[in-house]
């Protein structure tokens, strides 16, 4: 079975075309991600309401509602394999996600709008769910050198990932503002249970929090992750997000021939 090893701004995935196949996705996620150390696993399936359906699993075999960088990668996978054209719609557990090919490597998706955007869920963090059921995120500002302090922050971020205020757990996103509309992001992801080099929905959630706080007047966040830079564009009015776009690089690392497990 042909499996693509891909990454979006350093967020890496094992990807396959599962249309017409009966496969144990949870088991495949664990086995395939172990081969490359990937953050997640994705399978393309048939859909009756979109160009195709995305099944997303974390590296520990748990199912995820959606993944922003994963959605961008799956759009490239679908285009490269002739499953969809330059504009497409992806069915996810969190809702429908439109996607666009900008060039060979750059892809944009429209993330699901927040179903929850609570700026004061805990003393430290806001809480955001993108979609319904939503991808859960804790978002908090950090005043120090975020990337240099990464290991010193591990215990704190891991504890926040399991905070009882977050009913499904949460991806934890700390941000360090560099200038107006520009920030560093550090993410500790549920299901990976470690730092990842980028988190697309995490960057989107951070942008929503900054926008609602009035700290993103242009509506555009340049989000620097340790694996690469993403652009998030937020539009809306009266504190309600109406559109959330995520744009950035994708890469096919290699194509592997693997057995189903």
Among residues 33, 67, 75, 208, the one annotated as catalytic is 67
- Domain layout of the chain by residue ranges: 2-103+249-257, 114-248
* pLDDT for res 169: 94
Please, what is the end-to-end C-alpha distance for the chain in angstroms? 10
Would residue 67 show up in a list of annotated catalytic residues for this protein? yes
**Which residues of the chain are under the pLDDT cut of 70?**
261
Q: State the Cα angle at 250 between 154 and 36, rounded to 5°.
A: 55
pLDDT digits (tens, 9 = 90+) for 55-102: 999 999 999 999 999 999 999 999 999 999 999 999 999 999 999 999
Contacts of 127 (CB under 8 A, 6+ apart): 116, 118, 121, 136, 137, 138, 139, 165, 166, 170
Record: fold of 114-248: Diaminopimelate Epimerase; Chain A, domain 1 (3.10.310)
* pLDDT for res 49: 97
**pTM of the predicted model, to two decimals?**
0.93
* pLDDT for res 259: 84
Would residue 33 show up in a list of annotated catalytic residues for this protein? no
Place of tokens 């759009």: 75
Alpha-carbon distance 204 to 64, whole Å?
16
* pLDDT for res 261: 64
Record: fold of 2-103+249-257: Diaminopimelate Epimerase; Chain A, domain 1 (3.10.310)
CATH topology identical between 2-103+249-257 and 114-248: yes
Q: Residue 229's CB: how many other CB atoms inside 10 A?
A: 16
Among residues 33, 73, 199, 208, the one annotated as catalytic is 199
């Amino acid at each position: 079975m042909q499996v693509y090893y891909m990454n979006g701004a350093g967020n890496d995935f094992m990807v396959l075309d599962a249309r017409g196949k009966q496969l144990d996705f949870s088991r495949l996620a664990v086995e395939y991600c172990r081969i490359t150390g990937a953050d997640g696993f994705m399978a393309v399936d048939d859909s009756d309401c979109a160009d195709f359906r995305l099944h997303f699993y974390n590296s520990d075999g748990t199912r995820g509602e959606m993944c922003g960088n994963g959605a961008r990668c799956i759009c490239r996978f679908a285009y490269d394999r002739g499953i969809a054209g330059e504009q497409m719609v992806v069915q996810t557990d969190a809702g429908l996600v439109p996607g666009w090919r900008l060039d060979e490597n750059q892809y944009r998706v429209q993330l699901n709008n927040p179903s929850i955007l609570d700026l004061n869920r805990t003393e430290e963090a806001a809480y955001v769910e993108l979609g319904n059921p939503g991808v859960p995120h804790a978002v908090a500002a950090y005043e120090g050198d975020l990337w240099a302090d990464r290991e010193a922050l591990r215990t704190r971020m891991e504890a926040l990932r399991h905070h009882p205020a977050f009913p499904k757990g949460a991806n934890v996103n700390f941000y360090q503002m560099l200038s107006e509309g520009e920030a560093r992001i550090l993410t500790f992801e549920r299901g990976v249970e470690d730092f990842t080099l980028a988190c697309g929905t995490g960057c989107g959630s951070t942008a929503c929090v900054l926008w609602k706080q009035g700290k993103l007047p242009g509506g555009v966040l340049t989000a620097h992750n340790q694996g690469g830079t993403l652009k998030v564009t937020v539009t809306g009015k009266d504190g309600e997000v109406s559109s959330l776009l995520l744009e950035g690089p994708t890469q096919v690392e290699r194509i592997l021939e693997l057995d189903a497990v």
